[in-house]
Structure 1
Amino acid sequence: MDKNGSMSGDCDFETTQMEKFLSQAFNFQNIPEQYIVQGVKSFQIGKSPRSMDPKKVIRFPSKKATTSFAMTVQEILDWQHSYRVYADKTVEGMNEDFLRRALQGQSKYGKEAFRMKFVVRISQCPILMEFDARIIPRVPQEQWSHRIKLVSVTGIDFAGRIHDINDILTYVTNWKDVYETSPHSGLLLVHNRRDFRRKVNGPRAKLDTDLLLTDLMRMARLRLRACDYEEVQVVVETGIGLGVFAGKAIGIDETVRALSARAIRQVLEEDGRTYRNICAVVFALPIFGVDYRNGKRQDTYQAFVDEFNESNYQGSIPVLIADQDMHRLTVAVARMGFNVSELNPADSHGVFGEYWQNRGPAVEEKLALTTVGLLVQHHLINPYVLDPNHYYLI
């Protein structure tokens, strides 16, 4: 893995490449002055895959490229049809109407955004290029790419933003002491229409660790069960909400990472023997920078290694924790003949790829630039995203 490669920071070239590809193949156009959610440009496509000859071959990044990932329109249609939503039916307010609104960016801040933690979107989603930005050569009907599924899920968000306010109110027990509040209402003050601001010299946040662990386990249990239903054999996981969203600014990131590792370890131990298809789990946790605190390394890889080693993991499902990117691992597993999933840490707005055109993307946006995800999981391209017949409350 080239950790300092072309996609380690801004992805201007890759963004332009995807825009040109969509424009040439599907007449993609942004709609001036229209946004799906704040800061996310809306768009339309003039040629839907449904309107095209199923035998037509589409090449990414272009027809003239020396190396290309080639696919037929029929393959794209099949990948679109594979789209499924699995949602936790025990969550208050979880129903088809909510899902249909949320998956086009219409979830409200607070309770509805919080509810998205218990929603899993999954579909076949071939990888066009790894994070080194090198196109993976493919000819139509190559089977390895059909074995890859993308699992889009929302994580816990402690970045302190208005849309995910309930993460703060639910899990941070002393939020009134940590953040600036209105002297009149006692509610959190919102700056720049989005952000909460920590009080100067305010205390560290205190977490309701029992509740957080319970919910992290519910989230892990749901996405693993969805993968098992979808006949995934090897699950490739990555950290969800364990980077900038883990709450370093309020002093809780170390605890959040440890609880996330503990949650999935416990779920694997408790549920592992009930899975019909999952036979291995791989954690793709690349180390980008080494930060020590109290003599202990602070990164997601180390948190997971410590949890699985120190707890003497007793699960029946074998686990690999790797300092490697998930695309490389997923492609390798698919080429070995296994059905494999990889994880997309999605935003609670529910729109696939979210800020993919902003040229400074995080993991979710990088996935939009390196996979066929926009074709198969974006509501403006794949009609099945908003089709309740593809929703399963479990």
Structure 2
Amino acid sequence: MDPNTIIYFPCEGSSAFTMTVSEIQRWQNSFTVYADRDIPGMKKSFLQRALEGKSMNGREAFRMKFVVRISDCPVMMKFDAKILPRSLNDDWPNFIKLISMTGVDFAGRVHDVDDILAYITNWRNVFELDQVTGKIAVFDGRNFHPVKNHPPVLLNENLLLDHLKRMTRLRLRVCDREKVQIVVETGIGLGIFSGKHIRIDSQVRRLTAHALRCVITEEGATYTHIRAIVFALPIFSKTIGDIQIPDVYHDFVNEFHKSKYCGRIPVLIVDHDMHELAVAIACRGFRVSELNPADSHGVFGEYWQNYGPAVEEKLALTTLGLLVQHHLINRSVLDDSRYHII
């Protein structure tokens, strides 16, 4: 296509999000991968296969937690599905970067079996087992079922906390390396993946908030470009009488308040969605990042055809993510010269 071709989304008009082919190509060309060199098996050949959706169950899926994908990624509509009008003179879309990173997964699915095996020390007593192999039984081709009235889950908190810190450290270093000024984070692995069905969600939220605070406190002074970190954590839990059922927002507030956080990097925790925040920040001329809680299969959006049942799918429907981070659309995704093992 002619690089000067103008594209209107969803159609030509004053309320359209307007862009050119050359802009899309530039956004696609910004795609980069960073991976933790200290993770066994972290090679470019693995990354290329994983980003094509071919990571194997278990060890390879587990490895994806230590991989960051980042690219320019304009937001075309907020989560209310209303188009953001944009003319070619508006520069704010060029200030938004999207980070895709997998979180810990306790939902109980065969692809992420190593999360269960690594972090739950008494998994044999928690999940139904295959009577022949002694492994966790798989139902409907992918799911694990907890045993009825299973004992309390015993988490290997030290290992989980260490890995959560490692993931956070990599993600924030990448943001700084990519010259992000305002980092907008959301809860990664803190929804259905936090293990509510086996009653460990509160524990996982607490450890995640603790890991983030520790890394920001320890490494904040080393960042060259990051000026502030914003946690976009909408409150979804209900209030019963005067009692607020704990949510991700409250766990993060408690972690930073009780520790009397006074690190070099300012932290803001808000009951708001990340699109609203990222667009407002970008419109003020700051380079901002959003966090996509990615699937360990490595394909952007994964189930976006389901019309947005989760955050990653909503990002696929409201941003240019499919154009810039999906391997079937952007050739840069499988270009291993863009992979940095650091």
Alignment of 1:161-172 (within 5 A): 161-172=109-120
Q: Which residue in 1 is equivalent to 2:227?
A: 279
One-letter amino acid matched to 2:270 = A
248, 263, 275: which one pairs with 1:315?
263
- Are residue 208 (structure 1) and residue 161 (structure 2) matched? no
Q: Does the residue aligned with 1:337 lie in a helix, a strand or coil?
A: coil
- Are residue 61 (structure 1) and residue 7 (structure 2) matched? no
Q: What is the deviation of 1:225?
A: 0.4
- Are residue 249 (structure 1) and residue 197 (structure 2) matched? yes
Alignment of 1:202-351 (within 5 A): 202-290=150-238, 297-351=245-299
Q: What is the deviation of 1:185?
A: 2.0
Query: Following the alignment from structure 1 to structure 2, what is the Cα–Cα distance between the partners of residues 184 and 355?
Result: 33
Q: Structure 1 residues 141, 382: closer, same or farther in 2, change over 3 A?
A: farther
One-letter amino acid matched to 2:323 = L
Would the aligned equivalents of 1:353 and 1:365 in 2 still touch at CA under 8 Å?
yes
Q: What is the deviation of 1:389?
A: 1.0
Q: What is the deviation of 1:129?
A: 0.5
- Are residue 358 (structure 1) and residue 306 (structure 2) matched? yes
Q: Which residue in 2 is equivalent to 1:28?
A: none
90, 110, 117: which one pairs with 1:142?
90
Q: Deviation string for 1:36-82 (max 9, x for gaps)?
A: xxxxxxxxxxxxxxxx100000111123x551100000000000000
One-letter amino acid matched to 2:177 = Y
Q: Deviation string for 1:122-150 (max 9, x for gaps)?
A: 00000000011111000124211100000
Q: What is the deviation of 1:237?
A: 0.1
One-letter amino acid matched to 2:8 = R
Q: Does the residue aligned with 1:357 lie in a helix, a strand or coil?
A: helix
Query: Following the alignment from structure 1 to structure 2, what is the Cα–Cα distance between the partners of residues 80 and 170?
Result: 36
One-letter amino acid matched to 2:156 = D
Identity of aligned residues (%): 59
One-letter amino acid matched to 1:320 = L
Query: Following the alignment from structure 1 to structure 2, what is the Cα–Cα distance between the partners of residues 264 and 155?
Result: 13
One-letter amino acid matched to 2:26 = D
Q: Does the residue aligned with 2:117 lie in a helix, a strand or coil?
A: helix
Query: Following the alignment from structure 2 to structure 1, what is the Cα–Cα distance between the partners of residues 10 and 314?
Result: 15
Q: Which residue in 2 is equivalent to 1:120?
A: 68
Query: Following the alignment from structure 1 to structure 2, what is the Cα–Cα distance between the partners of residues 66 and 134?
Result: 14
Query: Following the alignment from structure 1 to structure 2, what is the Cα–Cα distance between the partners of residues 225 and 374?
Result: 25
Q: What is the deviation of 1:183?
A: 2.2
One-letter amino acid matched to 1:187 = K
Alignment of 1:184-203 (within 5 A): 184-203=132-151
Would the aligned equivalents of 1:291 and 1:298 in 2 still touch at CA under 8 Å?
no
Q: Structure 1 residues 240, 58: closer, same or farther in 2, change over 3 A?
A: same
Query: Following the alignment from structure 2 to structure 1, what is the Cα–Cα distance between the partners of residues 48 and 64?
Result: 12
Query: Following the alignment from structure 1 to structure 2, what is the Cα–Cα distance between the partners of residues 307 and 84?
Result: 32
Q: Does the residue aligned with 2:304 lie in a helix, a strand or coil?
A: coil
- Are residue 103 (structure 1) and residue 43 (structure 2) matched? no
Q: Does the residue aligned with 2:68 lie in a helix, a strand or coil?
A: strand
Would the aligned equivalents of 1:71 and 1:141 in 2 still touch at CA under 8 Å?
no
TM-score (ref. length: structure 2): 0.97
CA RMSD of aligned residues (A): 1.1
- Are residue 85 (structure 1) and residue 33 (structure 2) matched? yes
Q: Which residue in 1 is equivalent to 2:21?
A: 73
Q: Does the residue aligned with 1:245 lie in a helix, a strand or coil?
A: helix
Would the aligned equivalents of 2:237 and 2:245 in 1 still touch at CA under 8 Å?
no
Segments of 5+ residues of structure 1 without an aligned counterpart are: 1-51
- Are residue 391 (structure 1) and residue 339 (structure 2) matched? yes
Would the aligned equivalents of 2:332 and 2:338 in 1 still touch at CA under 8 Å?
yes
Q: What is the deviation of 1:202?
A: 1.2
Query: Following the alignment from structure 2 to structure 1, what is the Cα–Cα distance between the partners of residues 81 and 269?
Result: 24
One-letter amino acid matched to 1:103 = L
Alignment of 1:9-28 (within 5 A): none
Would the aligned equivalents of 1:242 and 1:300 in 2 still touch at CA under 8 Å?
yes
- The range that moved more, 359-368 or 151-160, is 359-368
Query: Following the alignment from structure 1 to structure 2, what is the Cα–Cα distance between the partners of residues 108 and 279?
Result: 38
How many equivalent residue pairs? 340
Query: Following the alignment from structure 2 to structure 1, what is the Cα–Cα distance between the partners of residues 234 and 255?
Result: 17
